[in-house]
Amino acid sequence: MNNVAASSSFLCTLPGQGKDIAYHVAVSFLDASHPAGVLFTSFVGDGRRSFGVLTDAGSLQGALASSSEALCRLAIGQAVRDHLYDKAREGDYVLDPDAEPWQGELKPVGAGVRANRPRQQRFQS
């Protein structure tokens, strides 16, 4: 689906009760090239909110099949349209390919992160 440098995990802000709520959205994969859906998680507010918008990998075509961002934008658009974040306790949902892709800001998480050794700090007593 994506090359290694591209992110499949993003941060976004969705409507919530009284104020917007930050969500982590991430594409889950059946294998390296077949996305299984988009998982939404938020720890803001009243406990953890988590739900998924699942897809049949064989049904994805074009940008949805090759871009995590495009798939996330479509899933977020569906979540906003159907208020799925208010229904998180009801379980997961099936991706609607006719949903309008979300146009808001998506911040990539972990794109291009290198696996360097952690820096060591020296403490003086």
Tokens at 81, concatenated: 């349209």
pTM: 0.78
Element (H, E) at 52: strand 49-54
Q: Determine contact, residues 65/3, Cβ cutoff 8 Å.
A: no
β-strand partners of 39:
26, 52
> How far apart, in whole angstroms, are the C-alpha atoms of residue 121 and residue 18?
42
At 81-123, the pLDDT tens digits run: 998 887 877 889 999 999 999 999 999 997 554 444 444 555 5
The rounded radius of gyration (Å) of the Cα atoms in the chain is 16
The type of residue at 10 is: F
Burial class of residue 84 in the structure, from the number of CB atoms within 10 Å of its CB (0-12 exposed, 13-18 middle, 19+ buried): buried
At 1-44, the pLDDT tens digits run: 544 346 789 999 988 776 788 899 999 888 777 788 999 998 77
